Structure 1
Amino acid sequence: MPLRGENLPNYRVTQLAFAAHIRNPAVHPAPLGIEPRRMQIYVDLVYNNIERFLANTFRIIRSLTSDAAWHAMVRDFVHRHRSASPFFQEIPREFLAYLETERESLHDEVEPPWLLELAHYEWVELALDLDQRSIPERDVDPGGDLLDGYPVVSPLAWLLSYEFPVHRISKQYQPAIAPDQPTFLVVYRDRAERVRFLEVNRVTARLLSMLRETDVSGRAALTRIGLELAGHDREAVERGGLQMLEQLRDCAIIAGVRTVDD
């Protein structure tokens, strides 16, 4: 981190040198006048706290990455990235931004093609756990008619699409090539405040997207989907759609149906 400005007060020069050394002690020397042992305490404290938090958030990535590659990546993040938030709980979001825009391969290991998608999937779990919103209850009937009523999708249900089946990646399954079809997942927080996921097909993903983005009844949404699915029996689409709507409500992905007009 370059030190700018010859007219800076001495304490500011020391602060900048202190922070630069903490970010990358291999590149930036410690400020003069600070005992190396004490300086190392700060270096270790900052790095270890960030590394542990990232390892706890991105557990699958950590388990699939060698120690050398993992620590090289975290070191580069600490050195390179400029966070937009001062809050510690936002560090995983900042790490995700680093992976998206700043990450460079720093190790001999071949970086898996699903790394960024898996990182996003793991971050979503934390983001939903910290989300201050609740499943809607006001003006919502949890037992209302899902076909003739207007289903309300919970704000704590995130519809996600990935090239790779990130929810299956493990030590036993690490695909080198993305499947022909994308993976659709709904990651959600249920009424017991637990973060869960549900794999859905393209039709269900379309249904959820339509319910969230347009003012439409369940029946109208299914009718529209039936028209999009040329060659499918309309009644069969409605029956299957009702079953899916009920499952989504049981999971609290759908909170219920709207009881008042907007």
Structure 2
Amino acid sequence: MAHIRDPENNKKPADVEERRMAIYRDLFFNNVDGFVSSAYPVLKSLYTEQAWQRLIRHFFSMHDCKSPYFLDIAGEFLTFLANDYEMQSDDPAFMFELAHYEWVELDVSVAQKVAQEVKLSAHKVTSSPLYLSSFARNLSYSFPVHTISVDNQPSEPTAQASYFVVYRDSDDEVQFLSTNAMTALLLNIIESKPGADLNDVCQAVAEHAPQFSQEQLYQGALNTLSAMAERGVVVTNT
């Protein structure tokens, strides 16, 4: 196994012929490469093929995956970048944020619904306990990850963070929604205080935005959360 993971630094077992061992070397590595590459197409496009293969080999040889499922390999790669990988001079500064943004699409696409979740009608936002859907992720990044491409690679974070909600709609399609700081704050409060009602949420927001009146906060929160309820981002519970 050590040879299969890192053949340059671990000799082939003497009792296995090269032809057979080569099959296993290619099979294992190509499987891992395929799962990672399909999950991170934008990140991959920023590297030469040789540099990408080197990165995947580093992941394959150094990281001990905690899950036996092929579907979890992309998440294991993100864990590797976060905890075990030392960025190289040719890695973009936004490497981890872009990888996380791309991984979230897969994460949301396979997320399991919490049994007690119920779709929330917009007109019931004022009278229902509020929850962030198990199909939704409230995100913020210091780089504009949604615009990154081969021809657009920022070297410094933007002055303002980029906010997104990634969610699975009623047709099981993953959607990306650009939001703002206030929407992110509302959803963060709901996520951290599951079951809070609209008044509770507004009181929590007031601590962060004292420049707004209670009426302004209430109307703004009502409009935003009603729209999020329509999209299935905010739900209620049985």
TM-score where L is the length of structure 2: 0.90
Aligned mates of 1:45, 1:56 — CA distance in 2? 16
1:4 aligned residue: none
- Judge conservation of contact 1:186–1:198 (CA < 8 Å) in 2: yes
Q: Please, which of 254, 258, 262 is the counterpart of residue 234 of structure 2?
A: 254
Point out which structure has higher relative CO (alpha carbons under 8 A, 6+ apart).
2
Amino acid at match of 1:133: K
2:97 aligned residue: 117
The structure with the larger Rg is: 1
Q: Secondary structure at the match of 1:76?
A: helix
Question: How many percent identity over aligned positions?
Answer: 32
2:155 aligned residue: 176
Which runs of 5 or more residues in structure 1 are unaligned? 1-18
1:54 aligned residue: 36
Amino acid at match of 2:12: A
Aligned mates of 2:184, 2:229 — CA distance in 1? 15
Aligned mates of 1:58, 1:30 — CA distance in 2? 31
How far does residue 202 in structure 1 lie from its aligned partner after superposition? 1.3
Query: Matched residue pairs, number?
Result: 237
Distance 1:62-1:236 versus aligned 2 partners, 3 A rule: same
Distance 1:206-1:49 versus aligned 2 partners, 3 A rule: same
Amino acid at match of 1:198: L
Does residue 152 (structure 1) correspond to residue 134 (structure 2)? The answer is no
The superposition leaves residues 102-128 of structure 1 with CA deviations (integer Å, 9 ceiling, x where unpaired) of 22356xx52111101111111111112
Q: Secondary structure at the match of 1:196?
A: strand
Q: Please, which of 21, 45, 61 is the counterpart of residue 63 of structure 1?
A: 45
1:13 aligned residue: none
Which runs of 5 or more residues in structure 2 are unaligned? none
Q: Please, which of 148, 152, 166 is the counterpart of residue 145 of structure 2?
A: 166
Amino acid at match of 2:77: F
1:191 aligned residue: 170
1:45 aligned residue: 27
Distance 1:237-1:81 versus aligned 2 partners, 3 A rule: same
CA RMSD across the alignment: 2.1
Q: Secondary structure at the match of 1:145?
A: helix
Counterpart mapping for 1:74-113 below 5 A: 74-105=56-87, 110-113=90-93
